[in-house]
Amino acid sequence: MPQRTIAVMATLDTKGREAAYIRDCVLKRGHRPLLIDTGLLGEPGAEPDISNREVAEAGGASLDDLRRHANREESGPAMAAGATKVMHDLVASGEVHALLALGGTQGTTLSTSVMRELPYGFPKIMVSTMASGNVGPWVGTSDITMMYSVTDIMGLNPFMRRILANAAGAACGMAEVDIVQEKRKPLVAVTTVGITTRGAMTAAKVLEDAGYETIVFHAVGTGGRAMEEMMRQGLIGAVLDFSTIEVSNEMHHALLAGGAERLTVAGRLGLPQVFCPGALEVLVFNEPETVPAKYAGRVLVRHSPKITDLRLTREEMAEVGREVARRLQATGSPAVFLIPTAGYDSYAVRGEPFHDPDADAAFVAELRRGAPGSVKVVERDRDINDPAFATEAATTLIGLMHEAAAA
């Protein structure tokens, strides 16, 4: 196994002993540690390979100035920017193969902001006192591995040595992994939620039978954002956006909000796309008491003990149609919006509580009125989970990919 370099990031003025212990663990495994100091005020408790002064300068700041101000609102972002620049350059040049960081609230905030800017697949491990709760603010849509330290990271003892040795072993193990990536057909992204899963599974199988690999995203807000970040990084080559529920949830500040850029990134990048309105009429909240009062009297569906679904009205669906059309203006290459008029999900078919073809028709009318010429709107008298509909969605995308490859 060739020697790998493990970057170890910490505030060495407060966590120098712990970082030095990780350094020794990495050395014992035959790899090279690279200590990066993001501390600000005190002297480092371990000799850094990249000093805090170098980190500050990489962020366009002076360490002495930051120390004089001693203002975390200014120093934190400056050190984070510098550490991000340092790590980005090291990763781009192939000089490091994993990043392991230690921290409490401040260290976790700084280190994970660096990690979120690194490519998907690059190993990132955050040993943190904050890792037992909601880690969403630190992880975002990145593939950061959060490791709970249980106790404060302050001093060495038998328990902390074990935690840090485990972290070092994990980082080394991740860095040792080599996967040969063969350049094949485009990787196809597929979005789905529970009430469109049967259709998405059918579509994915059609794509896979045609020789394409698929990567499926749960359209719960973070799923769509992660998909679009992977597009920016060049990991995804085509999109079957089967479940666009994240747009309506963003508009109404509901649980599955996908962000302001949802439906725009692939278009700007010129990727082949097929859209479907999977669960687009559904707003998602937690328990019934969390549903805003303005929706009083609406029919609710308990999707699970923790999830409550609500159906949009005709007027609200028309508004969604206008917003989707607005976002599709970024789509310059040929694309297809394929609409199943018999139901956008399993709750919306005839006989189910969200069946409302008039409201769906209002969405389609506004979509047709505002969509750019590059997006062809096609209606089919089937529901989204019908195998024939899902198959057509997949084969339509395959046709667009063939056209793009021939161009």
DSSP per-residue letters across 3-64: --EEEEEE-HHHHHHHHHHHHHHHHHTT-EEEEEE---SS--SS--SB-HHHHHHHTT--HH
Mean residue pLDDT of the chain comes to 95
Last residue of a domain, one of 176, 196, 214: 176
Specify whether 211 is located in the same domain as 116: no
Specify whether 350 is located in the same domain as 267: yes
Specify whether 134 is located in the same domain as 38: yes
Last residue of a domain, one of 146, 176, 206: 176
Closest CA to 389 of 321, 343, 355, 333: 343
Which range of residues forms the domain containing residue 369? 188-406
Rg over alpha carbons for the chain, rounded to the nearest Å, is: 25
Mean pLDDT of 337-352: 98
Specify whether 285 is located in the same domain as 381: yes
Specify whether 33 is located in the same domain as 155: yes
Determine contact, residues 39/82, Cβ cutoff 8 Å.
no
Q: Measuring CA to CA, how many Å separate 306 from each of 173, 245, 260, 288, 303?
A: 37, 18, 26, 9, 8
Give dist(CA 14, CA 154) in Å, integer: 8
The per-residue pLDDT for 3 is: 94
The per-residue pLDDT for 70 is: 60
Tell whether the model's pLDDT for residue 13 goes beyond 70. Answer: yes
Determine contact, residues 110/81, Cβ cutoff 8 Å.
no
Quickly state the pLDDT bin for 71 (edges 50, 70, 90): low
Class of residue 294 by CB neighbours under 10 A (exposed 0-12, middle 13-18, buried 19+): exposed
**SS3 call for 370:** helix
Give the H or E element holding residue 154: none
Specify whether 101 is located in the same domain as 167: yes
Tell whether the model's pLDDT for residue 257 goes beyond 90. Answer: yes
The per-residue pLDDT for 96 is: 97
Domain count, the chain: 2
The per-residue pLDDT for 76 is: 84
List strands edge to edge, sheet with 282-285.
Answer: 282-285, 307-311, 300-304
Specify whether 270 is located in the same domain as 368: yes
Residue 368 lies in a domain: yes
Give dist(CA 15, CA 233) in Å, integer: 33
The per-residue pLDDT for 66 is: 85
State phi, psi for 59 to the nearest 5 degrees.
-90, 10
List strands edge to edge, sheet with 32-37.
Answer: 32-37, 5-10, 98-103, 124-128, 145-148
DSSP string of 160-226, one letter each residue: HHHHHHHHHHHHHHHHH--------SPPEEEEE-GGGHHHHHHHHHHHHHTT--EEEEE-SSHHHHH
Tell whether the model's pLDDT for residue 129 goes beyond 90. Answer: yes
Specify whether 76 is located in the same domain as 214: no
Mean pLDDT of 105-134: 95
Mean pLDDT of 320-324: 98
pTM (predicted TM-score): 0.87
- In the block, residue with structure tokens 């899902």: 390
Tell whether the model's pLDDT for residue 73 goes beyond 80. Answer: no
Specify whether 172 is located in the same domain as 215: no
Give dist(CA 234, CA 269) in Å, integer: 9
Closest CA to 191 of 140, 148, 239: 239
Last residue of a domain, one of 142, 176, 210: 176
Quickly state the pLDDT bin for 347 (edges 50, 70, 90): very high
CATH number where 336 lies? 3.40.50.12030
Residue 182 lies in a domain: no
Give dist(CA 225, CA 232) in Å, integer: 11
Residue 183 lies in a domain: no
